Amino acid sequence: MKAMVYRRYGGPEVLEPAELPEPKTHVDSVLVRVRAAALNPADLALQAGVLDEAVETYFPVVPGWDIAGVVERAGLAASEFAPGDEVIGYVRGEVQRAHGGLAELVSADVRSLVRKPSTMSFTEAVGLPLAGLTAYQAVVHALDIQPQELLLVHGAAGGVGSLAVQIARARGARIIGTASARDHDYLRSLGVEPITYGPDATERIRHLPVDAVLDAAGNGALAAAPTQPGARVASIAEIGLPGVIPVFCRLEPQDFQAVADLAEAGELTVRIGETFPFERAADAQRALAQRTRPGKIVVLGPGSS
């Protein structure tokens, strides 16, 4: 099968096309033909070797944690799916065993898949797995956002932040989000009151009666714009700060299904920044690294258009 692989750590320059054997499937695995793969900063970190001390790597690696595609075959113990089903998947574990999303086919554990929301294209739905799981677990589990609570989201226009504000809105919260000026209209379209980073924003945030804060931006956002005492605070970027709940994405099937259900109900949309053909996967990585435009970077599967 066609795949994009890296055989050593590095940046986009180490990504290269390859012909690999079709991945094997066990009784509880599902073989998926990839229609789209979404890129995440974690993909670049893994490829650069940043996580080498924590993650076993078996070269060559096929990167790509987020996939959307069509089931080719399902194992005997994977009765949840059948050939022809449209699915999305969070296949981080498969990447560690060399079977990521930048390929024609992925063999995925049945627990890592849910049905693709019918309201979304493959290109849009592939932006849900990692970012959606992280956002859901931050809003629902870490912060337990309740109706009418005021939530402040730093980095509200980003991949996790934009989904977090929509999940919080679906739970009846009121939301204020920090973002660059270019993203204000987008945030307003999500029902979020936008604030631009800067000294004026810091003073304003200091006096907001917020119930909870989600830091999806990092870069010292929490320290630069402290809120009133008593607010619940969580972060996906600043780990180890006193009083801040760290949020790490975990593959919890019930949470993944909840994200898909929200999308199916029309409560979630994914902002697509740029779409690349399979052959230009390295250019897609460069676009992600350079953050040339807001929104998700998506690589189409081989033969998709």
Report pTM. 0.95
CA distance 183 to 230: 29
Residue-level pLDDT at 97: 58
Q: Could you tell me the two tokens for 204?
A: 């304003």
**CB neighbourhood size of 103 (10 A):** 29
Amino acid of residue 1: M
Ranges of the chain with pLDDT below 50:
none
The distance of Cα 87 from the centroid of its chain, to the nearest Å, equals 16
Could you tell me where the DSSP H helices lie in the chain? 41-48, 92-96, 122-125, 129-136, 159-170, 184-189, 199-206, 221-224, 253-264, 281-290
Residue-level pLDDT at 305: 65
CA distance 210 to 140: 17
Q: Residue 88 carries which DSSP code?
A: E
Taking alpha carbons only, the member of 208, 206, 153, 148 closest to residue 177 is 153
Residue-level pLDDT at 228: 78
Residue-level pLDDT at 229: 86
Place of tokens 């969070």: 90
